[in-house]
């Protein structure tokens, strides 16, 4: 754990949560219902969670960083993307997932995305990969389609 990298990541998370807080009203239509949870409830809840956890990480990493500086320890240099190849592959994988979602549907594209990602990140047992992808795919589909009432592509 490098406190510098954690502090940078946490700062990005806090900044992103502040940005999202102000963007949500322009992206989510208000509910015609006067009471109850509207469509903006879930995005605001996730934005608050991102902000709170990022703030906790920022405080923790800053305190650890100061503690190490006081002891006179040399901190490792900050390397933001030590595994740039993995990051770029997963970015391409996510972009292909986005493109395939409109063509082959949410369920199948999610399954393919999860299998390719798991294989690239080092999983080797096919039955575990398939079981994980099927369970996660079905639970996400069930949650969005039946619990939240969201129409998936």
In this prediction the pTM is 0.53
Cα separation, 4 vs 12, in Å, equals 12
Quote the DSSP letter at residue 151.
Answer: P
Q: What is the pLDDT along the chain (153 residues), one digit of tens a residue?
A: 677 778 888 888 899 899 888 887 777 666 666 556 677 777 888 889 999 999 999 999 888 888 887 887 766 665 656 667 777 888 898 889 888 888 898 889 989 998 988 888 887 888 888 899 999 999 988 888 888 777 777
Cα separation, 57 vs 4, in Å, equals 11
């Amino acid at each position: 754990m490098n406190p510098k990298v954690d502090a940078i990541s946490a700062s990005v998370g806090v900044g992103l949560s502040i940005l999202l807080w102000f963007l949500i009203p322009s992206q989510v239509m208000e509910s015609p219902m006067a009471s109850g949870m509207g469509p903006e409830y879930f995005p605001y809840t996730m934005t608050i969670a991102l902000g709170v956890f990022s703030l906790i990480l920022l405080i923790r990493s800053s305190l650890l960083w100061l503690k190490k500086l006081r002891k006179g320890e040399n901190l490792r240099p900050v390397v933001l993307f030590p595994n740039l190849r993995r990051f770029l592959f997963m970015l391409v994988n996510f972009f292909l997932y986005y493109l395939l979602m409109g063509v082959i549907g949410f369920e199948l594209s999610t399954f393919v995305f999860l299998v390719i990602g798991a294989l690239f990140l080092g999983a080797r047992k096919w039955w575990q990969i398939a079981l994980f992808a099927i369970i996660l795919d079905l639970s996400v589909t069930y949650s969005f389609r039946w619990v939240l009432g969201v129409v998936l592509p």
